[in-house]
Amino acid sequence: MSKILGIRREDKNEWERRVPLTPEDVKKLVSNSNMKVLVQPSPIRVFDEEQYDTAGAIIEEDLSSAEVILAVKEIPTNLLEESKTYVYFSHTIKGQSYNMAMLQRLIELKCNLIDYERIVNDKNQRLIFFGKYAGLAGMIETLYAFGQKMKLKGITTPFEKIKQAYEYGSLEKAKQEIAAIGEEIRTTGLPEELTPLVVGFAGYGNVSKGAQEIINLLPCKSLSPNDLLQGTLKKESKGNTLYTVEFMEKDLVTPRSGTFQLQDYYDNPEKYDSQFEEYLPHLSMLVNCIYWTEKYPRLVTKEYLATNQKLNLAVIGDISCDINGSIEITKDATMPDTPSFTYFPESDNFKDGVEGAGITVMSVDNLPCEFPKEASQDFSAILKEFIPDILSADFNTPYEELQLPGPIKKALILHDGKFTNDYTYMQKFLQEDL
């Protein structure tokens, strides 16, 4: 008998057009294995029903016959079904309070939950992710905000020609137009009041790599964090170059005693203090790409900004988008139609949109949606390799006997409604939410 895989529609917001599996990869799965694929209809999905139908999928509203159901974002609590295996970004592993009711319902229904975020290799590196596209779109949105901010300040720059990521229609088109702006900067330079223009990147993973892929379409020179502190960068009458700086963990914090040890920092962050604020006076833009939880020091605090109101820092692209997190002034997750807000340190107030004064924060939390086709294609290409094993697994067997690829077994948060060993810590989040 054929195993049945379901792909649900995404309906978290109007921008969510991504898919976990593309029609092309569905066709390969249907052709090469004994499975049926059901796809819920969707009016906004980047690939339409006809493409899935041609690929051999069945367009079906009712997914109740599917043993495994794939999604991208969280599935509404009222749609969860008993004993199903769900695969999606659950956004629960940090105890996100807004998803605890969903997690509790999965437990009550004795479901299996596989979270893409925890599909990792032996080095704990993620294997399936949209992070690169978050970085790509996030850098474009950050440059867009910077260009608009400078325009409001009466400073004409090539950056004001940059559009929002989704307006380009494709990543290729975005890169072509931004590269052309890079040529303009090489030829005509930047206004003296913006030089030296320094862009800092907190983090060096997939998100940061995506962001730096965009900035490097412009004429850039890489600096070390220490180069900034030496104070050798001066104003230029015709700056033809942007300066970029990548910050690693050792640059973000300093140990209260002894020397910096990466693993010790991960294990005992309370033994370290943030030193990142010493770099802020030298930055024009900050792009935040780090993984953060409350146990780690912040990068930017309201207290610092209140006492240092003459910074050159104009825009923060908070791609990580942890609310009141590593960037304390990130007050909300925004949408592409209103991607930014501005913080005014002197009054501790916010205003939606880009303003000439204050510090503008771009905090769109679903950035890969701005390149839905390309992001889905890359994601699907990896995910499809795991689907046959997930679908053929007997989730009724004890966890120890469960036959799954190592990365998928590591990502199994719930098995038959119970936390697996790596995720028992999450029980406290449910208790705290009661």
pLDDT at 365 over 80: yes
Q: How far apart are CA 396 and CA 410, in angstroms?
A: 17
Amino acid (one-letter) located at 113: L
- Let me know how long the chain is: 434
pLDDT at 1 over 70: no
pLDDT for 433 equals: 67
pLDDT for 434 equals: 58
pLDDT for 34 equals: 81
Q: How far apart are CA 253 and CA 409, in angstroms?
A: 34
How many CA atoms are closer than 13 Å to the CA of 49, on its beta-carbon side? 12
On the question of a cis peptide bond just before residue 196, with omega within 30 degrees of 0, the verdict is yes
pLDDT band at 44 (very low <50, low <70, confident <90, very high): very high
pLDDT for 127 equals: 94
Q: For 407-420, how does the pLDDT look when each residue is reduced to its tens digit (9 = 90+)? A: 999 999 999 999 99
Give bridge partners of residue 198 from the DSSP assignment: 243
pLDDT at 3 over 70: yes
Which class would CATH give 3-129+375-433?
A: alpha beta
Q: List the structure tokens of 321.
A: 């988008």
Within 55-130, where are the H helices? 100-108
pLDDT band at 89 (very low <50, low <70, confident <90, very high): very high
CB 138 within 8 A of CB 317: yes
Q: List the structure tokens of 380.
A: 């699907």
Element (H, E) at 391: helix 387-392
Give bridge partners of residue 341 from the DSSP assignment: 352, 361
- CATH superfamily of the 131-370 domain: NAD(P)-binding Rossmann-like Domain (3.40.50.720)
pLDDT at 237 over 80: no
For range 371-389, the mean pLDDT: 97
All CATH 3.40.50.720 domain ranges in the chain, comma separated = 3-129+375-433, 131-370
Q: How far apart are CA 208 and CA 203, in angstroms?
A: 6
pLDDT for 309 equals: 85
For range 377-381, the mean pLDDT: 97
Q: How far apart are CA 305 and CA 402, in angstroms?
A: 52
Q: For 300-334, how does the pLDDT look when each residue is reduced to its tens digit (9 = 90+)? A: 999 999 999 889 999 999 999 999 999 999 999 99
CB 68 within 8 A of CB 87: yes
Q: By C-alpha distance, which of 69, 19, 26, 79 is closest to 47?
A: 19
Q: How far apart are CA 300 and CA 108, in angstroms?
A: 40
For the beta carbon of residue 360, count every other beta carbon within 10 angstroms.
27
Q: How far apart are CA 70 and CA 87, in angstroms?
A: 5
Q: For 335-363, how does the pLDDT look when each residue is reduced to its tens digit (9 = 90+)? A: 999 999 999 999 999 999 999 999 999 99
